[in-house]
Structure 1
């Protein structure tokens, strides 16, 4: 079985978020998929299976568990189909645990059509130490929780209490702030994402989190087309555009590795 490692949401290799894309040749058990994902030990390993009529199936695994939605690994899979597999179609359709997803080529990269995740205020503050004086707002965000901090510097300097975050009743924690001033004023918002319970202490660039970030910041800023930067150590940028109950996530990707799984 062939595989590729792709750095997603980046124009440069060794930036953005790396994902392993496995071209699934036949049936694999869930146990095999999980063991291989642990072997890669990246935030996501995706299994890409060719179906009939130009459709593909995607499944995504962290080193510890299967997840319902993953943006950067979907971007990586589309990039592989167009750049390593020579697929000529300009739009791809994927069957997934979150329904049908699609990817299309555009002038400056790849656009993913994903479900919009609505955010809602939390009645109680999050039980995470060290946040009491810096939280502007706390929201539910689908499978995740979202907190807004005072500014981009607070997000950059945030030191996660991984044990407390792992104990939250959520897949992970999104930490975000407006980027109107400071070092990131060329984008609309910044974020970081932590999911230690899923085996990802900090995810470099999280497409699925931007399904909620798009909703949150569109409500606050009154704009349906925004640009976000995830300010992890590797960093990456995601453009978002809302249309009804869908959100388009746009970005670039670079293939850095390929090989064969025995």
Structure 2
């Protein structure tokens, strides 16, 4: 099995969010796919199986479990298919746990069409959230995640995570966010319950961020920056019940998985 490591949501190598991309030529059991994801030990490993021209099945695994939606590994998957000549169409339909995801390329940028995640502010904040994130402005449910607004971008950048406290919140991940200084919104994303202490750049989180900040800022298009140590940038556009995520990606490594049972 061949694999590729792609840095997503960046135009520079060793920036953005790395994902492993594996194109499967036969079926493998989930235990093997999970073991490989743990071996790569990146926030996400993507597995692709071709259906037809422009049509692929796509699954995402963290080091601990399979997830329902991942933005950066979808971006990485499309980049890998196009850069390796495995896909000729400028529009790819990925069939996933979150339905059909359309990804297209134009003028060096990749656009992903994802479902919007509705956010609902919590009138009563749990003790678990209060213990994990102090000084928040508001807290909102965000699908599988929870979104916590801080006073400003400096507070987001300077936030020191207590991973045990974050893991005590019964959600997939914790998004902390604020209005940006030189961009519209900034954020960070923590998912220790899924084996990801801090995700470098989280496309799926912006499906909720777009919904939340559309109400706060009164606009439908945003420049966004994730303030992880690696950092990453993307453009976000809200379109009714869909969210468009725009970014770039670069390939950093490629190789072969040898620990595959003979069939």
Residues 21-45 of structure 1 show CA distances to partners (whole Å, capped at 9, x for unaligned) of 0011111111000000000000000
Regions of 4+ moved over 6 Å: none
Q: Which moved more, 1:158-167 or 1:4-13?
A: 158-167
Match of 2:24 in 1: 24
Match of 2:214 among 218, 222, 226: 218
Q: What residue is the counterpart of 2:154 in the other structure?
A: 153
State the shift of 1:69 in Å: 0.1
**Alpha-carbon offset, residue 53 of structure 1:** 4.5
Coordinate RMSD, CA, aligned: 1.1
1:105-159 superposed Cα distances (whole Å, 9 cap, x missing partner): 1224100000000100113224242634x20010000100000000001001111
TM-score by length of 2: 0.95
Alignment of 1:24-173 (within 5 A): 24-126=24-126, 127-128=128-129, 129=131, 131-132=133-134, 134-173=135-174
Which whole-Å CA distance do the structure 1 matches of 2:185 and 2:110 have between them? 21
1 CA distance for matches of 2:160 and 2:59?
A: 31
Contact 2:44 2:61 in 1 (8 A): yes
- Cα distance in 1, alignment partners of residues 168 and 34 from structure 2: 22
Please report the TM-score for the alignment, with normalisation by the length of structure 1. Answer: 0.95
Provide, for residues 154-174 of structure 1, a one-character-per-residue CA deviation record: whole Å limited to 9, x for no partner: 001111121121121210100
Residue-by-residue CA offset, 1:75-112 (whole Å, 9 max, x unaligned) = 00000111112522110000000000010012241000
**Structure 1: stretches of 5+ with no match in the other structure:** none
Corresponding residue for residue 260 of structure 1: 256
Shift of the alpha carbon at 1:251? Answer: 0.2
Q: Gaps (5+ residues) in structure 2?
A: 259-263
Instruction: Tell me the alpha carbon deviations over residues 43-91 of structure 1, each in whole angstroms, 9 at most, x when there is no partner.
Output: 0000011113531000000000000000000000000111112522110
SS at match of 2:45: strand
- What is the DSSP-based 3-state SS (H/G/I as helix, E as strand, rest coil) of the residue aligned with 2:36? helix
Count matched residues. Answer: 256
8 A Cα contact 2:132 2:165, kept in partner: no
- Residues 172-227 of structure 1 deviation map (CA, whole Å, 9 limit, x = unaligned): 10000001x3xxx1x10100000000000000000000100011111111111111
Q: 2:261 matched to which residue of 1?
A: none
Contact 2:54 2:91 in 1 (8 A): no
